[in-house]
Amino acid sequence: MRAAVRYPVVVGGLVTLGLQVLAPRLLHPYFGSGTATAAAVVAAALAGLAVGYRWGGRPTTTPGRLMSTTLTGTAAYLILLAAILRSGVVDGVVPASLWLVPVAVLLVGVPSLLLGTVSPLAIQALGDGHHGQGSSMTTDTNTVTAASVFGLGTIANVVGGLVSAFYLAPYVGISLSLGGFGVLLATAALVAGRIGAVQPVTEPEGARVVSTTGGGRDTFTVYGYLVLAFYSGVASVALEVNASRMLASYFGPTTGLWAAVLSVSLGGLALGYSFGGVIALPALGRILPFVVGANALWLVGATWVISLLEPSSGLSFGAVGIIALLAFGPAFVLFGMESQILVGAVWQERGTGSMSAAAASVFAISSIGGIIGALLGLAYLIPLLGMSGMIRLFVAGYLAVLAVTWRSLRPVSLALALFVALVPLPDWRWRGQSDRLVAQEEGRFQTIRVYTDDASYLRFHLGPTYESEVTLATGEPRFGYATTILGLAGDVSGKRALVIGGAGHALANALENRGATVTEVELDPIVRDVSDEHFGLLEGETVIDDGRRFVTTAESDTYDVIVIDAFAGPRYVPPHLTTVEFFDEVNRILTPDGTMYLNMISAIDGPGSGPFKALSSATATSFPASGYVRSGGNIVVVGSRVDLAEGVTPVGVSRTPNTDDKNPMDVLLEFAR
């Protein structure tokens, strides 16, 4: 592949996923870290790519010029966005929830649309991807060039996502990173501008068109292929969502786990594009049903294998990556092969010479399917059907679509679909637990489990970690950090308390038992419902919202006590709850003699102390008085408008504090083990 084409494809891939990683970090302080934000970013990105693919796939003799124009426009757009963020214009602005989708479209959707044009334009710049004799569709024609373009872009996606998550957002900052993306795209635009005009694609007279169905130019068959592409997009993105949930149930939703699933999914797709691209067109009819059937059976088997793992919250990124690779890597390779096979099949059945148009159609339809898979999986299907039920639904439907599309193998496809619909799948109940499982539900973000020994305690699990534990007889918290916070708070009778994080209602109930009026904020309504049923209803209100959003919109001088006990996984305090901007808002809503208590897990000094130093530096920046108290393996960080209580060790700014623009909290926690 010529360098003048390769470079824009790589840069476009880097920036495309880099934006999708940076966007949630930018949106969380305003819209929260819930399902709605994730769904809006995914939907905006995939919708933009779908439109961009179709736009870029239109025949043109000047693909380089169009590529240069779209890259220049994207560069200018991102540099302007970076300048707006650096100027501070948006500081303190809290848009209504109604504005989430438009903001996501402006932040991610518009650049994704422009960048989506790059791959199909690159195919056209390479002569529209014809590998065979001239530009005709002959028996030795394949889709190797289209596969190379999309494979290279997908590998660049992996790099862009990982670099953005582990380096740009934590250490460079979001605004500077967006500006850097703009500069990088500008250089790619200059390179693309060197690509000269290409000859329009024509079908030479007498070219022999090869059809997998025997007819060629079969409109019904083309639509069947596109329906299969759509459902493949649904199933592949739903698998990515489900794979993260399956593994998070055992290892916690860490940044390392996200990176492992991202690498396996996109790396597998890129490899599959390569494999699928070298298949000659006459072989498509024989291979595609095998690819779909093998993928369906593999996913059913992988579901069982994952369910047999032992839960652990301390596995390294490498270990989780190997598990993800073995369980889901082959499935994503098969999805990638299918995409390239469908590109060739659509190209062939249309009977035209435009490979880029066929690739644009397949990938655009697949991206639209991905929106459906992501939205259904994130918002509805996992809580409703469970992880096994979601796999069953999508795989059985996948096979049913194949049966409709590939009429010659309809009996086999329907038989496989029936097998998947009826085969027993695991219920994800952990084995080897000595305690009795009281309840198990799939929450919006993690698997919820409640255990008891029927003698002394009731314990609330999110994923593999204990979130709270209370004494059966009294309902009082048993964890040391909770009793430490209650002791520091002292007499709370008649005071107003805010608790962020509601797993098991442990601290909220304890504060109410001591006479406080409590407002609890919990992100997941299913966590609230399970806590209500098994740990007792609160007298006060449980608000379903992101803690940051609630604090930002609360009235000033409202709460005497604020307790932050929110975790997004083992040790993982959500990053947007660890910044100077957040603690400034917490300070604002405290009463003049109020105090904040935040629970975290970190070392206080030494190699693993980065998380504590970053967070405590932020509290020291925001509060007149700040300090900490050790409590077993936990640390209670204290921020106050008045003097610290006896026993609290004062702490100052020991390193650069976390900010919304530059926040390494999740990376520090990932490597501070």
**pLDDT tens digit sequence for 142-188:** 678 888 899 999 999 999 999 999 999 999 999 999 999 999 999 99
Q: Which amino acid is at 118?
A: V
Exposed / middle / buried, residue 88 (Cβ in 10 Å: 0-12, 13-18, 19+): exposed
* Helix (DSSP H) and strand (DSSP E) numbers for the chain: 22, 12
Percent of the chain with pLDDT over 70: 89
In the predicted model, what is the mean pLDDT of the chain? 86
Question: What are the residues whose beta carbons fall under 8 Å from the beta carbon of 202, sequence distance 6 or more?
Answer: 135, 353
Question: Which three-class secondary structure state does DSSP give residue 451?
Answer: strand
CA distance 244 to 260: 9
Q: What is the pLDDT of residue 199?
A: 67
Query: Which CATH superfamily, name and number, covers 447-671?
Result: Vaccinia Virus protein VP39 (3.40.50.150)
Question: Beta 590-600 vs 517-522: how paired, if at all?
Answer: unpaired
Q: What is the pLDDT of residue 592?
A: 95
User: Which residues are bridge partners to 142 per DSSP?
Assistant: 131
Sheet strands side by side (includes 649-650): 541-544, 517-522, 496-500, 559-564, 590-600, 634-640, 625-631, 649-650
Q: The domain at 1-199 falls in which architecture?
A: Up-down Bundle (1.20)
Q: Which amino acid is at 504?
A: G
Residue 162 has φ and ψ, to the nearest 5°, of: -70, -45
Q: What is the pLDDT of residue 80?
A: 93
Any idea where the domains of the chain sit in the sequence?
1-199, 217-425, 447-671
CA distance 243 to 128: 35
Q: What is the pLDDT of residue 195?
A: 86
CA distance 153 to 143: 16
pTM above 0.75? Answer: yes
Q: What is the pLDDT of residue 508?
A: 96
Q: How many CB atoms lie within 10 A of CB 29?
A: 25
Residues of the chain with pLDDT under 70: 1-2, 89-98, 128-142, 199-220, 280-285, 313-314, 351-353, 378-379, 431-433, 570, 672-673
Exposed / middle / buried, residue 160 (Cβ in 10 Å: 0-12, 13-18, 19+): buried
511 within 8 A of 486, measured Cβ to Cβ: yes
Q: In this predicted model, what pLDDT tens digit does every residue of 210-249 receive, in sequence order?
A: 444 444 445 667 777 888 888 888 888 888 888 888 888 8
> Do 217-425 and 1-199 fall under one CATH topology?
yes
Secondary structure percentages of the chain, helix, strand, coil, to 5: 60, 10, 30
Pick the CATH number of 217-425 from 2.40.10, 1.10.1740, 1.20.1070, 1.20.1250: 1.20.1250
